[in-house]
Amino acid sequence: MNDSQNSSAGIYLHFPFCESKCPYCDFYSMPIEDKEPTEYIDAVISEAGRAADTVYGSFIYDTIYVGGGTPSLLNADEVKRILENLHADFNIEKDAEITIECNPSSLTEEKIHEYLKIGINRISLGVQSFCEAHLKTLGRLHTPEKAIETYHIMRDCGFKNVSLDLIYGIPYQTNAEWRFDLKTIIDLAPEHISAYNLVIESGTEFGRLYNQNRLSLPSDDEQLRMYDSLNEHLKNAGYRRYEISNFSKPGFECRHNLKYWTGKPYLGLGPSAVSYNGKTRRKNSADIEAYLRRAREGTEFPFETEIIDRETALRESIMSGLRLTKGVSLANLKDRFGYDLREDKRDTINSLLSERMITIEDEFLKLTDKSLFISDSIMVKLI
């Protein structure tokens, strides 16, 4: 087992139901319609109990992340039942970061207040835009006013760690509109901001429209200006970028997501959820019906397993490290893999250094602000 098991792990629980499917989303989800979540919760609890009898039962967990889908469709009693079972099955630290993803359209003041009472201490709110036209384009069910109202209710209820999500590069969006979104979110002053450049994924409604030339996206130059505006506004407002798409005030980085980028272990529960124990990665089948049926039968859940060999672990360590603004540790690559990146990729590194696409500081190789917008192409050259 590698040294990832010497540190605290995280639990991710996937809730695959939404009020409706957003046209840009490629996460495994489906409209909740008239489905009753009780059977799904039973299945998740059953899966957690099985995992507790494996190596995942030996970890100490300091983060729990309930994502989706739209987990805020669950009421507090339903979430409480899940959390109580996780605490019974696993060793979870008292000061664990417990996050739930929420949409403004599915939150009420009562629900927010109850979430805090049952131990949730961090909310990630899917705002995406403060422009009503863009919210409609994205298929969101809330208005800008509802998002802002929901945020203030969270504060009034006592939440002290709130993350807001934004998307840029939306069809027909201008940089002026994006700068308005940035000003609005800065005025709200959440502890954490995730700002994603819209990616058109195959299998989504946006993907279908794009392939038919029916989706008008901002030009590459306009999206680059949006990216520059993002850096400028958030840096001036005191937010620190710690990962390509994530910014926080000091001390409010998402502890759970950092596990993915630093190679720490995590347990995934629910269809399509992924687990990693340091040696193998396991992905549950994205099949809700099979998931529920196996739970009723008391049989093993369908999944695929990938053994993480040295080459895969090395490649993923470089890529994940480059996602972080801290960069990839050259010393760690030598200690863990006996691999000298600077020597093996000498010509590439010298070229990227001369182009100011990367820097090397204190034995960390990292992308510059200039290259973060084209990070994928830089990573490919270094693995």
Structure confidence at residue 300 (pLDDT) = 84
Give residue 31's pLDDT band: very low, low, confident or very high (50, 70, 90).
Answer: confident
Give residue 59's pLDDT band: very low, low, confident or very high (50, 70, 90).
Answer: very high
Rounded mean pLDDT of the chain? 95
Give residue 4's pLDDT band: very low, low, confident or very high (50, 70, 90).
Answer: very low
Structure confidence at residue 131 (pLDDT) = 98
**pLDDT at residue 2 greater than cutoff 50:** no
Structure confidence at residue 299 (pLDDT) = 87
Q: 152: how many CB neighbours lie within 10 A of its CB?
A: 10
Which is more confidently placed, 302 or 122? 122
**Quick check: pTM over 0.85?**
yes
CATH 3.80.30.20 domain residues, the chain: 3-262
CB contact set of 185 (below 8 Å; sequence gap of 6+)? 127, 130, 164, 166, 193
In terms of CATH architecture, what is 310-382? Orthogonal Bundle (1.10)
Strand runs (DSSP E) across the chain, as ranges?
9-15, 17-18, 30-31, 60-68, 91-102, 122-128, 162-168, 192-197, 240-243, 246-248, 266-269, 274-276, 280-284, 303-307, 328-329, 358-361, 364-367
CATH 1.10.10.920 domain residues, the chain: 310-382
**pLDDT at residue 1 greater than cutoff 70:** no
What is the per-residue pLDDT across 332-361, written as a single tens digit (0 to 9) for each? 999 999 999 999 999 999 999 999 999 999
Which is more confidently placed, 372 or 7? 372
**pLDDT at residue 35 greater than cutoff 80:** no
Structure confidence at residue 171 (pLDDT) = 97
CATH number of 3-262: 3.80.30.20
Whole-number percent of the chain with pLDDT over 70: 98
CB contact set of 258 (below 8 Å; sequence gap of 6+)? 243, 264
